[in-house]
Structure 1
Amino acid sequence: MADYRIAVIAGDGIGPEVMDEALKVLCEAEQEEGFSLEVQAFPWNSEYYLEHGRMMPEDGLDTLQTFDAILFGAIGDARVPDEVTIWELIMPIRKGFRQYVNFRPVKSLPGIPSPLANGEDIDFVIFRENAEGEYSDSGGRLYAGQEGEIAIQNTIMTRTGVERITRAACRYAEEHGLGKVTSATKSNAVIHANKLWDEHVRRIVEEEFGGLQFEQYYVDALAAYFVQRPQSFDVVLASNLFGDILSDLGSGLVGGLGLSPSGNINPEKDYPSMFEPVHGSAPDIAGQGIANPIAQIWSAALMLEHLGEKRAAGRIVKAIEDVLAEGKVKTRDIGGTATTREMGSAIGEAFKNQTTKATEG
């Protein structure tokens, strides 16, 4: 019997291409580290929608709930509105499985220059509240098409939601020996929802995690500090919208979206968590075999870490770093000419070479 059952949703565009490479590296990890994976793929994407009128079957969440984790590719197709692909596939999974942590590492990689690093490595993580906040399906439109048309979009923040994302961020900081948590807010203007955020973030940190340094910035100033002094952060804590924007800025600091993984995590493991690259489906390069698979492979490493296979996860990240440090294999987005498959194969070889070097040593 498999140690872990993994649901794979490759999605649209470059999703299947980068997913193939992640699965190859996972196979290497499985063989070398002694655990087993039972992988089942689901064809839930825009083609599925065009054929069936929905992004996944009615019992899709029930099916996924039987798995230990979900490895997701990318979604998006010009033939299907974005609100359909997002709100009928990604959002039901995130919200239905209480994946209230969106976890994004922001980390300098060898051979990937950053104009903002100033010769020093950047290494921090972002904890984005992932289940409520500004991305809540609450509101509506009145008088559509008329001169007096009105749109209302409500932000939903709950004390429970703020408390649990704060605890998750602080526990991570403690477990990884990180000293500081930085909270993003805009409570000078968003005076109801963000004041609730401020009050309970500060209370949880001070009452339950007194050993951590705590700081709070308005999100516009924090975005500027990301640019001016990115090395000064350890764990950044933000609401859904603010965390989404700051995360992409963080990706830009260290090489771009093609290198950036993420996890949508249910820390209690009552439901499966979902791991996906930050980039989209990139239809302009789909089918050309030139997409960078690093973000997908790194997302698979985050999945293994969540499942408890920390050694395997660390080895995958080290393999990515080794390939980039050598500099011989790079995809076009990072200044090379390698194909998607060549990059995936190079990372797989680097993973295996770690065992060879250890044996020789």
Structure 2
Amino acid sequence: MEETKTFRLAVIPGDGIGKEVIAAGLQVLDHIAEESGGRFAFEKDTFPWGCEYYLEHGKMMDEDGVEKMKGYDAIYFGAVGFPGVPDHVSLWGLRLAICQGLDQWANVRPIEFLPGVPRRLNHPDVDTLNWVLVRENSEGEYSGIGGRNFAGRGPGKEVAVQSALFTEHGCERIIRFAFELARTRKRKRVLSVTKSNAQQYGMVLWDEVFARVSKEYPDVEAEQGLVDAVAAHFVLRPEELEVVVASNLFADILSDLGSALAGSLGLAPSANLDPERKAPSMFESVHGSAPDIAGQGIANPIGSIASAAMMLSHLGLEEEAEQLNRAIAETTRQGIMTRDIGGTHDTAGVTEAIIRNLAAVKATE
């Protein structure tokens, strides 16, 4: 009998509804492992890091937290943020600390228009829309370079400086990643997004690197756009989008726009990847911790479960990942959805439906 492959997962539920959607995702992963016939299993360690941990310990995670993560095959992350802890403290103290500490430099955020979800976009073929945002995840506007000064000079005198960092190396590796991803898709097209007319140093460097790298991919259509025009593009000509690559800030904003157009941030998965696999990658839904509905059992688990599908794919379980994505689509097609997208089901009901539909998907293969 073939030996069981065990994947070690570091689980960080985080705050608010993060705990609920991560529990739903783990329920689905455990079911998939049980149905594998012993081919693989998941060994999970849960870390209680987040805002409650901060309020008790004065820090969002253990001092050696990033080092602890290095022994795992993947990280499964819930959400971060809760009243009483400033957002910049919670974000920089946990999620960004892990992403930057492990050099998870490629953030991938697929945008899919699932069947049955109420339309937020007036487009004749909305069900055919499918694109992916590739976000530079290690530098750019989220480099954390800057400071505040002159507060001692009196009210209204303080100065804050926030600098964006663009390196040729950082630009090239994320742009090349986007072109390689485009080669795996039916329509081979990459749109690069900057604001180089106004930001004449870092983003001009990005544009120049994009132009240079694109010459190595003659089979992939390459286009460059300014972020304000591309935001309109998302609404007016979404059928032209395929792979969109941008800096940390711009891809962050555009991916939320895309997810909202697709129905809800609660549907959107993401992956923080170290494509070189020197360190574990982290998988999380795009939505926040939503403390206003935490504990009510009504959070949308689809984003977190779809992130689990991305994790399965990253771990080499491509067939299981595809089956899970099909089960999610079948669930929304059946109208089994949470309230944020017009449904009447709770977190548990949607999760159970996805598990049921996994069996139906496998039966049709």
Shorter-normalised TM range: over 0.9
Match of 1:352 in 2: 359
Residues 1-361 of structure 1 correspond to what in structure 2 (within 5 A)? 2-33=5-36, 34-120=39-125, 121-144=128-151, 146-206=155-215, 208-327=216-335, 329-358=336-365
Verify the 8 A CA contact 2:24 2:305 in the aligned structure 1: yes
Listed one character per residue, the Cα deviations across residues 203-252 of structure 1 (whole Å, up to 9, x for unaligned) are: 1111x212111111111000001000111111001001110110001101
Verify the 8 A CA contact 2:118 2:342 in the aligned structure 1: no
Deviates more, 1:41-50 or 1:1-10: 1-10
Listed one character per residue, the Cα deviations across residues 64-83 of structure 1 (whole Å, up to 9, x for unaligned) are: 10001000001101111111
CA distance in 2, matches of 1:147, 1:330: 49
Residue 115 of structure 1: CA displacement? 3.8
CA distance in 2, matches of 1:202, 1:253: 30
Verify the 8 A CA contact 1:46 1:85 in the aligned structure 2: yes
Verify the 8 A CA contact 1:116 1:228 in the aligned structure 2: no
Residue 357 of structure 1: CA displacement? 4.1
Residue 32 of structure 1: CA displacement? 2.2
TM-score by length of 1: 0.96
CA distance in 2, matches of 1:205, 1:266: 22
Question: What's the secondary structure of 1:147's corresponding residue?
Answer: coil
Q: Provide closer, same or farther for how the CA distance between residues 356 and 180 of structure 1 changes in structure 2, counting only shifts above 3 A.
A: closer
Q: Provide closer, same or farther for how the CA distance between residues 70 and 322 of structure 1 changes in structure 2, counting only shifts above 3 A.
A: same
Residue 146 of structure 1: CA displacement? 3.1
CA distance in 1, matches of 2:99, 2:207: 24
Question: What's the secondary structure of 1:36's corresponding residue?
Answer: strand
Verify the 8 A CA contact 1:28 1:352 in the aligned structure 2: no
CA distance in 2, matches of 1:343, 1:355: 18
Residue 122 of structure 1: CA displacement? 1.2
CA distance in 2, matches of 1:40, 1:119: 46
Question: What's the secondary structure of 2:183's corresponding residue?
Answer: helix
CA distance in 2, matches of 1:11, 1:70: 12
Question: What's the secondary structure of 2:284's corresponding residue?
Answer: strand
Amino acid at match of 2:291: P
CA distance in 2, matches of 1:115, 1:50: 38
Residue 119 of structure 1: CA displacement? 2.6
Structure 1 moving runs of 4+ over 6 Å: none
Residue 176 of structure 1: CA displacement? 2.6
Verify the 8 A CA contact 1:76 1:280 in the aligned structure 2: yes
Amino acid at match of 1:172: L
Unaligned runs of 5+ in 2: none
Listed one character per residue, the Cα deviations across residues 268-308 of structure 1 (whole Å, up to 9, x for unaligned) are: 11110001000000001001111100000000101111111
Deviates more, 1:1-10 or 1:102-111: 1-10
Deviates more, 1:344-353 or 1:187-196: 344-353
Unaligned runs of 5+ in 1: none
Deviates more, 1:118-127 or 1:271-280: 118-127
Verify the 8 A CA contact 2:80 2:288 in the aligned structure 1: yes
CA distance in 1, matches of 2:63, 2:23: 27
| CA RMSD of superposed structures (Å) | 1.2
Question: What's the secondary structure of 2:164's corresponding residue?
Answer: coil
CA distance in 1, matches of 2:327, 2:142: 36
Total equivalences in the alignment:
356
